[in-house]
Amino acid sequence: MLKNYLTFINRKIKEIKEIVGEEKALSVLSGGVDSSVVTVLGHKALGRNLKVVFINNGLMREKEPESVVKTFKKFGIKVKVVDAQNNFFRALRGKTDPEEKRKAITAAFYKDVFRKIVKEKKIKFLLQGTILTDIEETVAGIKRQHNVLVQIGILPEKEYGYKVIEPLIELRKDGVRKVAKLLGLPKSIYQRMPFPGPALSARVIGEANPERIAIVRKATEIVEGELKNSGAFQYFAVLMQDKATGIRNNKREFGNIIIIRCIESTDARKAKPTKLPWRVLEKITKRLTTEIPGVNRVCYDLTPKPPATIEYI
Ligand code: XMP
C-alpha cells in the first residue's frame, strides 16, 4: 500500500514536469490537505517555476493566512498572500441562495482573482487539488464544489485563459492524507479537519457579508478551541439567518442564533452527532453568548447524515 503511494508521488511529479515543461505554473494554497499536497508535488516537480499564492478571500478562519505562510516557509516554499477580500465580498453581496453563493465564489476565484495573477506572472497552468469525491458530489448534483469545472461544462482554457492540472483526481481524502504524510507535511496538515472550499461563507446561512463573517469567525474560534480534544471527526459553528428574542441587561434583544455541529464519521458520507458532555456544551454556550455581541441563542444539532448533510449550505 505504502509502495503504491510512493509510486503515485513519483508518477505525479513526472507528469507535472512533462505537462508544464519550461513554463510556469500556479498553485493556490488554502492550507487544507489537498492544496498542500498539490503544492509540495508541484514544488518538487517545478522548483522555482511553481508560484504559490494564498488568496485572502476574507472568508478564512482567524490567523489562517499567517499560519499557512509559516508552515510552508519551514518547508522551503515561499507563499505570497494576495488580498482579494473586496473581490469576494463584492461577488457575495446580496446573495442568499447557497448555490448562488457558490457560483459567485467560483467566478471571483477563477475569473477575477486567478486570471489577474496568471496574466501578470505569465502563467499557463493552474495546479489544483480537486479530489474524486468533489467530482462525484458535483456530478451527482448533491453539491457544486467550487473547484469542479470541466465536469460541469466549464472549459478553463477557453473561459479563463489557462489550463488546469489536477494531480489528485484519482484519490479520496484518506489517500490524500497518506500522501501528505509521506511527503513530510506536518500532522496539523495531514490530519486537518475538513473545511469547505467556500470557507466561512458556507457557515453563514443567508448573506455572507463582512459583519456576519466576523461573527461566525469568532464563533468558529470558540467552538474549535473548546472541542479540539473531543476526538470528533469535524466540529464547527454556523450562523443562522433567523433571529431570536432574548433578554440582556433587562432589555429585549433580537439577536443571532449559532448552531454547534460536532460529528463522528469516517469518510463524511455518513455522520452521527457526537454525544458531547453537557458541561462542554454549557461552557461553549456561555462563551458564545458572552464573547460575541448580539448572539443570544445557541443550539446543538442532533441530526445524523442522512437526512442532514454535515454542512448547512
Ligand atoms: P456535506 O455537507 O456534503 O459535507 O455532508 C461533506 C464533507 O465535505 C466537506 N467539504 C465541503 N462541503 N462544500 C461543502 O458543502 C464544500 O466546498 C466543501 N469542501 C469540503 C464538509 O466540511 C464535510 O466534511
Q: Does ligand 1 lie within 6 Å of residue 30's CB atom?
A: no
Q: Give the whole-number percent of the chain exceeding pLDDT 70.
A: 93
- Which has more pLDDT, 157 or 310? 310
Measured by CA distance, the residue closest to atom 13 of ligand 1 is 196
Q: What is the pLDDT of residue 142?
A: 60
Beta bridge partners of 300: 260
Domain positions in the chain: 2-190, 204-300
Cα–Cα dist 273/253, whole Å: 30
Measured by CA distance, the residue closest to atom 7 of ligand 1 is 268
Measured by CA distance, the residue closest to atom 19 of ligand 1 is 196
Cα–Cα dist 34/16, whole Å: 16
C-alpha of residue 21 to centroid of ligand 1, in Å: 34
Q: Does ligand 1 lie within 6 Å of residue 246's CB atom?
A: no
C-alpha of residue 202 to centroid of ligand 1, in Å: 9
Q: Does ligand 1 lie within 6 Å of residue 197's CB atom?
A: yes
Cα–Cα dist 15/21, whole Å: 10
Task: Say if residue 311's pLDDT is above 70.
Answer: yes
Asked if 53 and 25 touch (Cβ cutoff 8 Å), the reply is: no
Cα–Cα dist 281/14, whole Å: 50
Fold of the domain spanning 204-300 = GMP Synthetase; Chain A, domain 3 (3.30.300)
3-state SS, residue 130 = coil
Cα–Cα dist 214/150, whole Å: 33
Q: Does ligand 1 lie within 6 Å of residue 34's CB atom?
A: no
- Which has more pLDDT, 74 or 303? 303
Measured by CA distance, the residue closest to atom 16 of ligand 1 is 196
Q: Does ligand 1 lie within 6 Å of residue 98's CB atom?
A: no
Q: Which atom of ligand 1 is nearest to the CA of 147?
A: 17
C-alpha of residue 298 to centroid of ligand 1, in Å: 22
Q: Does ligand 1 lie within 6 Å of residue 58's CB atom?
A: no
pLDDT tens, residue by residue, 172-196 = 888 999 999 999 999 989 999 999 9
Q: Which atom of ligand 1 is nearest to the CA of 265?
A: 24
Residues ≥6 apart with Cβ < 8 Å to 111: 159, 160
| Residue to mutate, 109, 177, 311, 312, ligand 1, most ligand atoms under 8 Å from C-beta | 311
Q: Can you list the alpha helix ranges (DSSP code H) found in the chain?
A: 2-20, 33-46, 64-74, 85-92, 98-107, 115-121, 132-139, 156-160, 173-182, 187-190, 210-227, 278-291
Residue 140: CB atoms within 10 Å: 8
As assigned by CATH, the class of the 2-190 domain is alpha beta
pLDDT band of 258, cuts 50, 70, 90: very high
pLDDT tens, residue by residue, 287-304 = 999 999 999 999 999 999
Measured by CA distance, the residue closest to atom 11 of ligand 1 is 196
Q: What is the pLDDT of residue 149?
A: 60
Q: What is the pLDDT of residue 156?
A: 65
